[in-house]
Amino acid sequence: MNPISNLEDKFSFESIDSPEKRKEALNEAIVMMEAYVKLDNSVAVLSDLASNKSYIFAGNFGRFFDIHTSGFTTIDSIWEEDIYNRIHPDDLFQRHLLELEFFNFLKTISSEERLNYATKCRIRTLNTKKEYQYILHRSFYMKNSSEGGLWLAVCLYNYLLEKTAGANGIEGKIINTKTGEIFYVDTYENCVDLLTLREKEILVLISKGIISKEIAAKLNISINTVNRHRQNILEKLNVNNSIEAVRTAGALNLL
């Protein structure tokens, strides 16, 4: 189960440049990422939100994922499923919450400032011995479109050098890479208004096992309206189904 497989629905509302402008900027970004992984030894995933493609680059850490370190691989998705499938499900879910908070936090600041922020966390991931090992995960947006929409996203994977003994969870944080300011993410304050009152009301009823027809009768609205709200809930929470929606909303303290 991939709890973030619908995030492209949210990205579809972003302002995107013409294909010609995107191609030139994308080529520049690819060259930069090729050089970066050689210096950082990390695995980098550059995701083009406009064309739903990703470019995977590997430094020496590529051996952890059995990824070749020469050139780069292109996939027709903004999700690196082969990597996601190796992440512990609980940590993948917590990372999903972190990315939701990050995305909504960026909406509160100017487009110019957005590129100064990144997330950082630790995640348990299967190594070549099929054993869970904590690794470092970072994410940020490399470029906006000329109209200020989020466009090129970067995920970085590497060895975790800090000690992990006694720590709990993924220790997610948002960092201002320009000033060094750190925001530890545990309250998801930027997701407080993610759902409308009506959407919360419907999701509470869904959590009780009430079907759409019964929800419509109870709230005196049409079943089409209920279904539209249900779809909006899935898109806002970036999940695949109602079970995931209830779990995510509960973790964000929205219900």
Q: How confident is the model at residue 165 (pLDDT cuts 50, 70, 90)?
A: low
Overall average pLDDT of the 14-22 stretch: 65
- Please give the Cα distance from 116 to 133 (Å, whole number): 29
Q: What is the pLDDT of residues 69-115, one digit of tens each?
A: 788 999 998 888 999 999 999 999 999 999 999 999 998 999 889 99
User: Which domains, and CATH codes, for the chain?
Assistant: 7-184 (3.30.450.20), 192-251 (1.10.10.10)
Task: Kindly tell me if the per-residue pLDDT of 9 is higher than 80.
Answer: no
Q: Which amino acid is at 111?
A: S
Amino acid identity of residue 26, one-letter, is L
Q: Tell me which DSSP letter residue 87 carries.
A: B
- Burial-class residue 155 by CB neighbours within 10 Å (0-12, 13-18, 19+): buried
As a whole number, mean pLDDT of residues 156-176 equals 86
Checking if the pLDDT of 38 tops 90, the result is yes
pLDDT, residue 11, reads: 46
Cβ-contact 122, 135 below 8 angstroms: yes
Concatenated DSSP letters for 138-191? EEEEEEE-TTS-EEEEEEEEEE--S--TT--S---EEEETTT--EEE-SS-GGG
pLDDT tens sequence across 106-159: 989 998 899 999 999 999 999 989 999 999 999 999 988 777 788 899 999 999
**Residue 16's pLDDT is what?**
54
Distances (CA, A) of 85 to 89, 122, 125, 161: 8, 16, 9, 23
Which pTM value belongs to this model?
0.84
